[in-house]
């Protein structure tokens, strides 16, 4: 085709458009209403009534227009009808249409003129086509014009069309209001649902993904991201950042729309991102994505502090973000900020709990290399995985509470409370209130309701120390709780179920107490399903030095004194001591030494022992032995303890006793000690 021919077609097209526009009849919508006849008004009333009813019942604007446009086309004898809207460009967007035409874009200039004049227009387009354009009430935000084309234009097309447009406009406004109401209800339901789901979130990343996904769905947009503000680095981290590797993106906190939102604390709506100088194109460049429009709101904590920003991008269908969208995003953002804060606080609490548990666990370490301690550790490991009640027996200071802690923290109850009760320290009149709690007004000083130790230990372990000193009345009540697994507060009537593991301990001889009717036999059998009998420190002398070094290292750290060491004389002095106070005495000694020793090397003179008032450093001897017999028994016991303390090395034992090895054997033979049978005395 020649250039001259193309220019000729262009001229013809321009002339054709001029003819159409010059032949177009323009009428103000309110002018047509005065000339409408009775039949037209009757038709309008019927049409409007039907459309208003349909608008109330429609689920969406799309459904409403899809149902109504065919009926209006019949009324106007039109082959094509549409609701159109002006969009930036400038261009026209078809909201909904019915029928077909072959006029291309030749109608756009007429639509521009109708929109500019705010007037209805009818014009001939040639080939038998008649075009019409009727303004709509633009306040509903659906469309700007009601337009169409017909080959059967009647003399009432203008008046009927204007009235149909007015009826359609009213119905669209009602349908839009209905759609907004449904959307608000849906958003409210979704927001409540999100709130309930956020409360159960355990990790930050899935929480942010959930919120961004819900925002995208509720706002009807393409993408959304939450930007967390790292004020120390002056950065924001986008989570999630779609299209970016690893789904995370860090940007300067003072740039772009997000930076402006953080600075001003106000929501920002951008209709055309690339025309806004505040928009940072870096994200699009890195992801290969094209941002058209967006809305960004600040994330505010419960106390109003800005902790980030929430951004939604590219509204579906090219529509602009509305004030309702801003409100919805702000509501979600508030929930997100509060949920993030709760997660951080929960994380801190969990970390603190873990640190405390680790600290407690480190304090309850069972130290020792003796066979008795090895067997004890093995038994504790097996008991920890059960809920069996345990009775721990042993002298004062042998570590009964340490064993109870080890059982608790080594099992499935480790994340639940460990509550210790010293039964000997509670007056009988207060025992029931202490264990089971009381209601307000139950007795004179009961000003408030109070939980007892059983409730406080629910789900965990209750350690009943010195159980042998509990009164018979208290024993009866304790037995009832252990059997029924429920408690009743003092002054109350409601039964409260409790799930508690019991570990009891005593340095008393419970068997003798049962025989003497000082301890209930049925309670004894209930508590002693498993019994652990802890050895005294003098019965496991090989553990003295490991324990001493363990305690010295721990307290040296607290005293900020690194490198404390025990001298050889100090070691021998520790091994020679009878330890009537058992591990507690050794622990207290090492604590005193760590803080008060003048030098880093601990000598024997630095060890100041304090004997228990109930002990003289060894087992009590019968007065019936006489002085000679008692002397012989003391010598036997002293030699045996010396041998045990050096792991049966006779040379070291002789050195510890200040004897030659042969003299030690000779002395043992004189005392008729069985340990020297078959041994050489050279």
Confidence of residue 625 (pLDDT cuts 50, 70, 90): low
- Where is pLDDT greater, at 493 or 78? 78
- pLDDT band for position 18 (50/70/90)? very low
Whether residue 224 sits in one domain with residue 318 = yes
The 3-class SS string of 185-228 reads: HHHHHHHHHHHHHHCCCCCHHHHHHHHHHHHHHHHCEEEEEEEE
Shared-domain flag, residues 37 and 135? yes
612 part of a folded domain? no
**Cα 483 to Cα 322: distance, rounded to the nearest angstrom:** 65
- CATH number of the domain at 652, please: 1.10.10
Indicate if 477 and 591 belong to the same structural domain: no
Q: What's the pLDDT score for residue 482? A: 92
Across 231-281, the runs of DSSP E, i.e. the strands, are 235-239, 249-252, 268-270
274 and 380 in a common domain: no
Q: Between 305 and 354, name the one with better pLDDT.
A: 305
Question: Is the pLDDT higher at 610 or at 466?
Answer: 466
24 and 140 in a single domain? The answer is yes
224 has a pLDDT exceeding 60: yes
pLDDT for residue 388 is more than 90: yes
Q: Which of 473, 503, 533 is where one domain is finished?
A: 533
- The C-alpha atoms of residue 643 and residue 654 are separated, in whole angstroms, by 8
CATH number at residue 117: 3.30.450.40
For residue 3, tell me if it sits in a domain.
no
Q: What is the mean pLDDT of residues 576-598?
A: 90
pLDDT value of residue 23: 56
Q: Residues 138, 55: one domain?
A: yes
Average pLDDT over residues 634-641: 84
pLDDT single digits (tens) 103-126: 877 788 888 888 888 888 898 887
Residue 1 inside a domain? The answer is no
Which DSSP helix (H) or strand (E) runs through 315? Answer: strand 306-315
**pLDDT higher for 178 or 378?**
378
Residue 508 lies in a domain: yes
Place 9 in a pLDDT band, splitting at 50, 70 and 90: very low
The Cα 532–Cα 549 span in angstroms is 26
Give the residue with greater pLDDT, 59 vs 587.
587
User: Residue 480 pLDDT > 70, yes or no?
Assistant: yes
pLDDT-derived band of residue 355, with 50, 70 and 90 as boundaries?
A: low
17: pLDDT strictly greater than 60: no
The residue from 515, 533, 551 where one domain ends is 533
Given a contact cutoff of 8 angstroms between Cβ atoms, the answer to whether 290 and 284 are in contact is yes
- What was the pLDDT predicted at 365? 79
Selected residue with higher pLDDT from 57 and 501: 501
- For the cut 50, the answer to whether the pLDDT of residue 209 exceeds it is yes
Give the chain's mean pLDDT.
Answer: 81
Model confidence over 239-259: pLDDT tens digits? 765 545 555 577 888 888 999
- 130-161 exposure pattern, b = at least 16 Cβ within 10 A, e = fewer: bbbbbbbbeebbbbbbbbbbbeebeeebbbbb
- Specify the CATH number for the domain of residue 562: 1.10.8.60
**Rounded mean pLDDT, 514-543:** 93
31-40, 115-124, 348-357, 389-398, range with greatest mean pLDDT: 389-398
Helices 400-409 and 371-384: crossing angle in degrees, nearest 10, is: 40
Same domain, 519 and 543: no
Q: What percent of the chain has pLDDT over 70?
A: 83
pLDDT of residue 529 exceeding 60, the answer is yes
Pairing of strands 145-150, 390-393: unpaired
Can you tell me the mean pLDDT for 567-591? 90
Domain holding 168, by residue range, is 15-180
> How many structural domains comprise the chain?
5
Q: Looking at residue 185, what is its pLDDT? A: 73
pLDDT digits (tens, 9 = 90+) for 133-165: 999 877 666 788 999 999 888 888 888 888 888
- Please check whether residues 600 and 659 belong to one and the same domain: no
Residue 5 lies in a domain: no
Q: What's the pLDDT score for residue 545?
A: 93
Please tell me the predicted confidence (pLDDT) of residue 159. 83
Give mean pLDDT, residues 371-387. Answer: 92
- Whether 378 contacts 532, CB under 8 Å: no
Q: What gap in Å lies between CA 474 and CA 485, rounded to an integer?
A: 16
- 489, part of any domain: yes
Q: Which residues contact 520 (CB under 8 A, 6 or more apart)?
A: 472, 475, 476, 479, 514
- Extract the tokens encoding 558: 């607290």
Please indicate, yes or no, whether residues 578 and 628 belong to a single structural domain of this protein.
no
Give tens-digit pLDDT for 31-80: 554 445 555 566 667 777 777 787 777 777 788 888 889 988 888 889 99
Q: Which of 3-7, 86-90, 287-291, 444-448 has the lowest mean pLDDT?
A: 3-7
Q: What is the mean pLDDT of residues 186-201?
A: 66
The mean-pLDDT minimum among 144-148, 181-185, 556-560, 599-603 falls in 181-185
CATH number at residue 408: 3.40.50.300
The distance of Cα 12 from the centroid of its chain, to the nearest Å, equals: 72
Residues 519 and 372 grouped into a single domain: yes
Domain contains 192: no
Residue 187 lies in a domain: no
Q: What is the structure's pLDDT at 169?
A: 82
Residue 3: pLDDT band (50, 70, 90) is very low
| Measured CA distances, 665 to 147, 388, 639, 648 (Å) | 124, 49, 10, 13
Co-location of 591 and 656 in the same domain: no
pLDDT for position 364: 67
Domain stops at, among 533, 548, 569: 533
| Neighbouring residues of 412: CB distance < 8 A, sequence distance ≥ 6 | 385
- Given a cut of 90, whether residue 576 has pLDDT beyond it is no
One domain for residues 527 and 543 = no
């Amino acid at each position: 085709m020649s250039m001259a021919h193309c220019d000729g077609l262009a001229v013809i097209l321009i002339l054709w458009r001029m003819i159409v526009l010059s032949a177009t009849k323009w009428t103000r919508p309110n002018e047509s209403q005065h000339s409408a006849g009775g039949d037209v008004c009757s038709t309008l009333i019927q049409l409007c009534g039907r459309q208003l009813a349909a608008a109330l019942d429609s689920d969406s604007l799309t459904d409403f227009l899809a149902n109504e446009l065919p009926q209006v086309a019949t009324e106007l004898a039109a082959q094509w009808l549409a609701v159109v809207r002006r969009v930036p460009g400038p261009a026209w967007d078809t909201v909904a249409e019915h029928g077909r035409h072959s006029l291309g874009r030749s109608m756009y200039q007429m639509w521009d003129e109708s929109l500019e004049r705010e007037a209805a227009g009818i014009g001939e387009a040639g080939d038998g086509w008649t075009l019409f354009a009727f303004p709509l009430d633009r306040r509903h935000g659906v469309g700007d014009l009601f337009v169409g084309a017909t080959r059967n234009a009647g003399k009432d097309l203008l008046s009927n069309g204007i009235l149909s447009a007015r009826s359609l406009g009213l119905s669209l406004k009602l349908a839009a209001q209905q759609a907004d109401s449904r959307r608000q209800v849906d958003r409210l339901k979704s927001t409540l649902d999100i709130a309930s789901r956020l409360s159960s979130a355990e990790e930050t990343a899935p929480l942010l993904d959930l919120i961004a996904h819900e925002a995208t769905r509720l706002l009807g947009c393409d993408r959304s991201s939450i930007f967390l503000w790292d004020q120390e680095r002056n950065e924001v981290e986008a989570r999630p950042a779609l299209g970016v590797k690893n789904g995370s993106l860090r940007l300067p906190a003072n740039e772009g729309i997000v930076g402006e939102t953080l600075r001003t604390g106000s929501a920002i709506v951008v209709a055309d991102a690339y025309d806004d100088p505040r928009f940072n194109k870096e994200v699009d460049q890195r992801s290969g994505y094209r941002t058209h429009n967006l809305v960004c709101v600040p994330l505010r904590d419960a106390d109003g502090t800005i902790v980030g920003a929430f951004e939604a991008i590219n509204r579906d269908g090219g529509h602009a973000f509305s004030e309702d969208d801003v409100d919805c995003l702000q509501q979600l953002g508030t929930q997100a900020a509060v949920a993030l804060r709760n997660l951080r606080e929960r994380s801190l609490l969990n970390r603190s709990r873990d640190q405390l548990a680790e600290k407690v666990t480190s304090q309850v370490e069972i130290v020792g290399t003796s066979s008795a301690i090895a067997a004890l550790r093995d038994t504790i490991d097996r008991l920890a995985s059960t809920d069996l009640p345990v009775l721990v027996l042993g002298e004062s200071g042998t570590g009964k509470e340490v064993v109870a802690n080890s059982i608790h923290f080594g099992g499935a109850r480790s994340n639940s409370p460990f509550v210790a009760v010293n039964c000997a320290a509670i007056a009988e009149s207060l025992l029931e209130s202490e264990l089971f709690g009381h209601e307000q007004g139950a007795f004179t000083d009961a000003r408030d309701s109070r939980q007892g130790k059983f409730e406080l230990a629910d789900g965990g372990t209750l350690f009943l120390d010195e159980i042998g000193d509990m009164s018979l009345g208290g024993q009866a009540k304790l037995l009832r709780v252990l059997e029924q697994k429920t408690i009743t507060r003092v002054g109350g009537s409601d039964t409260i179920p409790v799930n508690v593991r019991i570990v009891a301990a005593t340095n008393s001889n419970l068997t003798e107490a049962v025989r003497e009717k000082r301890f209930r036999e049925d309670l004894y059998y209930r508590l002693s399903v498993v019994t652990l009998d802890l050895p005294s420190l003098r019965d496991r002398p090989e553990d003295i030095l490991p324990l001493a070094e363990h305690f010295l290292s721990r307290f040296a750290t607290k005293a900020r004194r690194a490198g404390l060491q025990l001298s050889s004389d100090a070691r021998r002095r520790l091994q020679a001591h009878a330890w009537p106070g058992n591990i507690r005495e050794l622990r207290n000694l090492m604590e005193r030494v760590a803080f008060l020793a003048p030098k880093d090397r601990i000598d024997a003179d630095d060890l100041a022992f304090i004997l228990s008032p109930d002990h003289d450093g060894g087992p009590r001897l019968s007065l019936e032995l006489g002085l000679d017999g008692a002397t012989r028994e003391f010598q036997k016991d002293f030699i045996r303890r010396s041998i045990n303390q050096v792991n049966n090395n006779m040379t070291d034992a002789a050195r510890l006793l200040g004897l030659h090895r042969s003299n030690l054997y000779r002395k043992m033979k004189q005392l008729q000690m069985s340990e020297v049978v078959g041994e050489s005395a050279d």
